[in-house]
Amino acid sequence: STVFSSASSSTEKGEDPGGPIYVCIDTSSSMSGDPEAAAKKLALAIAIIAQSEKRPLCVVNYSFTVSFFMLTDFQRQKKSFLTFLSNSYSGGNDENRLFRFVFTLLPQAPKYREFAQNFRSADMLIISDYQWGFISEKNLELVNRARRKGMKIYGLHIGNVHSNHSALQFF
Task: Report the distance separating Cα 68 and Cα 25, nearest Å.
Answer: 10
Is the pLDDT assigned to residue 66 strictly greater than 60? yes
Is the pLDDT assigned to residue 31 strictly greater than 50? yes
Residue 75: Cβ-neighbour burial (10 angstroms; 0-12, 13-18, 19+): exposed
Alpha-carbon torsion 106, 75, 45, 158, what sign?
Answer: negative
Q: What is the pTM of this model?
A: 0.82
Give residue 59's pLDDT. 96
Q: What is the pLDDT of residues 114-138, one digit of tens each?
A: 676 666 678 999 999 988 889 999 9
> Are 25 and 47 in contact, with CB atoms under 8 Å apart?
no
Cα atoms in the Cβ-side hemisphere of radius 13 Å centred on 84: 21
Mean pLDDT of 78-101: 90
Give residue 118's pLDDT. 67
